[in-house]
Amino acid sequence: MRVAQLARSWAVDVTAADLAPVAAPVDAARRLGAGRGYLEGTAANRKLAELLDERPEDFGAAGPITLGAEAVELRPTLRPFGDSLHVIGPECIDGFQRLKTIATMKDRLSQEHLQRSVIRLEIYCGPERDRARRAHDGAEGYLNPSTAQDLLIRCPDIVRLMHQDWEKGAFDPRRGVTTGPHERQFSMADVTSALACLSPGPDPVAAHQAATPEGRESLWSNRFSPVYRSLFHGRMSPVGVMRAVEVWNTAHSALDAMPKKSRQGYGHLIEYAPELICWKACRSLPQQLPLHLLHEDAKSPFPWDQVIERDLPAATVQTARLLVARYREARPERRCPYKTEAPEIGLWRELAW
C-alpha cells in the first residue's frame, strides 16, 4: 500500500485483494451510501469482470475509486514500511460497480491474481467530501462520452495513413479527409462507406455495415474483425482513399440525378439501399475496376479517372434499374414496408448475385 496526503484528499494505491472484502456484504451499497446498487448483468460490468480476469494490471486504469470518510488515520505497525490506513465512516462516492465486481470475482480468482491489480483510492473528508459528492453526482453532465470513431486514432494503420503525403489535403479519423485548394471535406463516415463500396470479395457485408451510423460504430469498434481489416490495413494510401471517395461520390451523384418516379414502388430500393447499388455498380462496369490495386500509386496502369468519369454514372443507373427489377421478382408479395425490408443484409445478398 502506498499513501500520500494531498492538499484536499488522501491518495492511496491498494490492490484488488485489499478491496475484495469492502463490498462483499449483501447490503454493501447501503452501508457505503452508494448512489446505486450493483447493476448485475450490464455490459459495462461484464467488461469490468472480464478485464479483472484477463488483464488485472489494466483494471485500475479504469480510473480512481472515490471515497468519503469521517476521518482518515495513518497508524504505524510493527512491520517496516507497513503503516496501515484506517478509514472511519467510509462512503463510496464513485466506483461502487468496480468494488462490487472485485467482491463478486474474489472466489473465482486467486489472491495472487487480485494482487496484480493496483487501484487508486481518493479519499475526501470534511467539506471536501461534500464537494467531491456534488461533483461526482453531476459528473455525467460534464462528460463527452467517447465513441468507436474516437478510438480509430489507436489503430496503427490509421495513424500511418495520417502521416502520409496528402499533397494539399489532410486526413484525420475524427474529421475525415480535407483535400484541394477549396478544402473539400469528406467525413470519416464517407471514407468508410467509400472503402466499403470498393471492398474486395463477392459479399456486400462491408457495404451493408458501413451504410448506417450504428453499423459504422460496430465496424469501427472492432479493428481486428475481418470486415475492418478488409477496409483499414497496412497497404492503405492517400491516393487509394481518394479514389474510393471519388468512386463512391460519383455513384451517389448518379443515383441522386435519377427521376423521382424511378423511386416509386420497388424503386424505394434506391432510397433505402443506395450503398448496395453503388457496391454492385462498381462490379458491373464494362472495364472492371481492379479492386486489389485500389491503393497502388498514381502511376497505376489502370485509367481510374477515365473509367470513373466516363463509365460509372451510366453503370450506376443501369445497376439501380437491374436491382429494382430483381427486387420485384424476389419479393412479389412483400410483408413489410420498403423502409424496413430494403436495408436487410439477406435481401442485399439475394439481389447481389
Domain-by-domain residue ranges, the chain?
A: 2-142, 150-351
Using CB atoms within 10 A of its CB, is residue 296 exposed (0-12), middle (13-18) or buried (19+)?
Answer: middle
Contact (Cβ atoms closer than 8 angstroms) between residue 194 and residue 245: yes
CB contact at 8 A, 124 and 131: yes
Torsion on CA atoms 208, 175, 295, 202, rounded to nearest 10: 0
Q: Cα separation of 106 and 304, whole Å?
A: 60
Please state, in angstroms and rounded to a whole number, the distance separating the CA atoms of residues 11 and 23. 20
Instruction: Count the alpha carbons within 13 Å of 110 in the hemisphere toward its beta carbon.
Output: 3
Q: What does the alpha-carbon distance between residue 307 and residue 96 come to, in Å, rounded to a whole number?
A: 60
Strands 118-125 and 65-69: parallel
Taking only the tens of pLDDT, the chain with its 353 residues reads 788 888 889 999 999 999 999 999 999 999 999 989 999 989 999 999 999 999 999 998 888 999 999 999 887 765 555 567 889 999 999 999 999 999 999 999 999 999 999 999 999 999 999 999 999 888 778 778 889 999 999 999 999 999 999 988 899 999 999 887 667 899 999 999 999 999 988 899 999 999 999 999 999 999 999 999 999 999 999 999 999 999 999 999 999 999 999 999 999 999 999 999 999 999 999 888 999 999 987 677 899 999 999 999 999 999 999 999 999 999 988 778 999 999 999 999 999 98
Residue 256 is predicted with a pLDDT of 96
Distance CA 318, CA 258 (A): 11
